[in-house]
Chains A and B, each alone.
Chain A
Amino acid sequence: MMQRKTGGRIRRALGLVQARAVDIIMFVVAVLWLIPTVGLFVQSLRTGADIGQSGWWTALANPRTLTLNSYIRLLNEPTMLRALKNTFIITIPSTILVVGVAALAAYALAWIPFKGREALFLVIVGLQVVPTQMAFIPAAQIFRFMGIFGTVQGVICFHLAFGLPFAIFLLRNFLGNMPKALLEAAQIDGAGHLVLFLRVLLPLTVPAIASLSIFQFLWVWNDMMIALIFAEPVNAPLTTAIYSQMRNFASNVDVIAPGAFLQMVVPLIIFFVFQRQLVQGILGGSIKD
């Protein structure tokens, strides 16, 4: 009697496991995917000595060893503060410039008839996948000639050049799908191109501009390659500033761990706040290679 009962229980448990097999597998995958980020976060709250001695998971059993000291020290370090500031003064203008210049160009490409419009648009389609490496050497020469090599302006110019093709492509497609009647009505009312652009189309383009801005911001904020070449140390953003500490990884862990987490906090906030726009943007094709 007793035995039959436990047998039933086991069978029921097995049935449950079977029914939940997909849930269990997916749960394990999700946990695997979360572990690296959680690990970095925990590391950033540990002392350099602890990091060098034991794994971060041991701190979970002993949360009293966690401390904000690394962050406090990091934020008192002039080079890191400067890097944080540089990241903002590179990222914000790059985003605004790309979106602004692209919006103007997209309007012209969508609504002003001119010779060579189709050809120009095809060039823009093509430019989207050109590797950044193709412009490093000439850009360095041009920037040296202009006296902006190594400066924030140089970095911004480079981001502008490589952000534009995709931004124009996205906004032109969005603007091109606007109903023609809307524009004709405004034109009959005597509105010029500037009025049309600012008053009629721009307000309708806000969703596309929003997701473009988010992606452009993330792209520039997370860039290390362009900053590595075009920003000298005083103008370095967080990515390259942290990278330069990695030469002595073991002895600088107490700067690298909180620094890296600080660097990814802003993208993570954007991710959590703008989830919907991000997903819609991606599904709408607004992500670069």
Chain B
Amino acid sequence: MPTPVTSSAAAHTGRRRDKMKNKLATIAFLGPAFIVLGLLVYAIVFTVGRSFFDAYGGFVGFRNYQRVFSEQRMLVAVRNNAIWVAIVPAVVTSLGVVFAVLTERIRWSAAFRMVLFMPLVISSLAAGVTFRFMYAGNPNEGFVNAVIQQVVHIAKPPGLYPGARLSTDDFAVAVDGAFESKAPVQLGGQANFALAAIRPQLVPENATTLTVPASSQSSISGVVWLDFLSGGRGTRGYPDPEKTGLPGIRVEAVKDGKVVATAYTGNDGSYALTGLAPGAYTIRLSADSFRQPFGGYYWLGRDFIIPALIIAYVWINTGFAVMMIGAGLSSINRDLLEAARTEGANEWQVFRYVTIPALMPVVTVIFVRGIISVLKIFDLVLVVAPEPVRADATVLALEMWNAAFGGMNDHGLGSALATILFLLILPVMLSNIRRFRLDQQ
């Protein structure tokens, strides 16, 4: 009879001992993390509170927030963050989808994914330094400009005499990089051009001293020469026989805006345009002969810095999207794709109506992650944008750092900027929590 009583009592004390043990274990196991996480929560509350006070601790209400949306430099940061959010997550996600779909069609997909993934393990500092070199302005130094130069030069090769100018505009004028005779020339007449600002090493070796051609009734002729003699000899704009002729320049006879005849200058700089009907022509030295080589875009200047940063960011982050979406693709039910094909769907329809909907969950994750990551962007901007253009490339995180630690020492403004970032990310945070709670249930 007493047995059940004792056993239940024992069970009772046992359970109590278990509870005690659990309590102690909870404290021991969770204690360190709890302290750190508690401080983190404290920090968040503190920063939100601090944002309502000025640099010296006086209460200012929402004035710090007003400053963010009214001061020029911070408005630029807000605008830049908006640009990043509008463009970059979409670009990274779509590149991810395209590359992930294409990797399914190559045998070396693992290697491809690895190559794209590699930048992700590199620091923003190293990536930033890398792109500082890639973006060097001079095409002889910066790879990006070197490639662009190759392409541009196929379409528009640089001229023989880049940067040449008229030595005198007494008898010719410069028009859109070309040089034209000041007045139309009658058939049988002559048009001469005296050029300057040509570096001696650009004059071809086959160039000789100039010859003024004899005029002929059936042509328009003339000479193009380098209007320079050492030691200040010669007369400006006059074809002194010692001056050097400029070979290889394309000369055009223009009538009513149309080129009706062309000729090239010879080694002595002379040319003759033949086969012309009687009448007056404008004589033009083609701009092709004087075009400057492509000088490179100034990627690190204020006009290009944002695209430059975005390219660097895309280089770093596309691999992650490819990896995730690739995994999503390989988990799509093959039977579903086959079924769609046997039903008569073409490849595009299969992609559009089967693959894309099946990928939506992972694409959404990538996209949202992209937004968060882009809102927080900081060190890439700091490393890639040189100091003079930093005000043009700035973002909220950078302004926060500037305000709180970069000399301004304004913890109020810094806190407001941090809180704005936090508020922008808050919806994501809340939806994460909600989704997690639903998963748990």
Contacts and interface: CB of A to CB of B under 8 A. Distances in A.
A, B bound: yes
Interface string B105-126: 1100001101111110111111
A105 B36 CA distance: 11
Interface string B398-441: 00110011000001001101110110010011101100110010
A282 B323 contact: yes
B125 A130 contact: no
Contacts of B143: 35, 39, 55-57
A114 B382 CA distance: 46
A91 B421 CA distance: 27
A89 interface: no
Contact of A136 (B25, B28, B315, B414): B414
A234 interface: no
B234 to A, nearest CB: 37
B425 to A, nearest CB: 5
Interface string A181-216: 000000000001110010000000000000000000
Contacts of A267: 121-123
B25 A43 contact: no
Nearest to A113: B22
A130 B383 contact: no
Interface residues of A, number: 94
B134 interface: yes
B126 A40 contact: yes
A225 B21 CA distance: 42
A268 to B, nearest CB: 7
A243 B387 CA distance: 12
Given A36-B134, A43-B133, A101-B32, A131 B425 contact: yes
A128 to B, nearest CB: 7
A250 B288 CA distance: 35
Interface in A224-244: 224-225, 228-229, 238-239, 242-243
B121 A218 contact: yes
A139 B140 contact: no
Contact of A224 (B124, B140, B324): B124
Interface stretch (B168-176, B353-361, B369-377): B369-377
A61 interface: no
A56 B133 contact: yes
A164 interface: yes
A130 B122 contact: no
Interface stretch (B37-45, B235-243, B265-273): B37-45
B311 to A, nearest CB: 10
Contacts of A271: 117-118, 121
Contacts of A135: 40, 43-44, 47
B130 A108 contact: no
A238 B122 CA distance: 13
Interface string A134-152: 1111111010000000000
Interface string A239-270: 10011001101000000110011011001101
A134 B44 contact: yes
A130 B41 CA distance: 10
B338 interface: no
Interface residues of B, number: 93
Interface string B14-32: 0000000111011011101
A202 B123 CA distance: 31
Given A22-B102, A57-B146, A101 B40 contact: no
A282 B320 contact: yes
A211 to B, nearest CB: 13
A105 B29 contact: yes
Given A112-B22, A283-B327, A260 B125 contact: yes
B141 A54 contact: yes
A101 B39 CA distance: 15
Contact of A260 (B30, B44, B121, B130): B130
A249 B437 CA distance: 50
B39 to A, nearest CB: 6
A112 B414 CA distance: 40
A264 B126 contact: yes
A14 interface: no
Contacts of B103: 26
Nearest to A102: B33
Nearest to B312: A36
A279 interface: yes
B119 A134 contact: no
Nearest to B384: A246
Contacts of A134: 43-44, 47, 418-419, 421-422
B123 A105 contact: no
A256 B383 CA distance: 12
Contacts of A257: 129, 133
Nearest to A241: B125
Contacts of B303: none
Interface string B44-56: 1011001000000
Interface stretch (A1-9, A65-73, A74-82, A118-126): A118-126
Interface of A: 22-23, 25-26, 29-30, 33-37, 39-40, 43, 51-57, 101-102, 104-105, 107-109, 112-114, 118, 122-140, 142, 160-162, 164-165, 168, 192-194, 197, 218, 221-225, 228-229, 238-239, 242-243, 246-247, 249, 256-257, 260-261, 263-264, 267-268, 270-271, 275, 278-279, 282-283, 287, 289
8 contacts: A39-B134, A40-B129, A105-B29, A127-B41, A135-B40, A138-B50, A246-B383, A287-B320
Given A140-B404, A283-B327, 6 more contacts: A26-B102, A127-B37, A133-B401, A136-B418, A222-B124, A242-B125
Interface of B: 21-23, 25-26, 28-30, 32-34, 36-37, 39-44, 46-47, 50, 99, 102-103, 105-106, 111-112, 114-119, 121-127, 129-134, 136, 140-143, 146, 315, 319-320, 323-324, 327, 369, 372-373, 375-376, 378-379, 382-383, 386-387, 397, 400-401, 404-405, 411, 414-415, 417-419, 421-422, 425, 428-430, 432-433, 436-437, 440
A-B pairs, top 6 by smallest CB distance, nearest first, are A222-B123, A105-B33, A108-B29, A133-B418, A260-B129, A264-B126
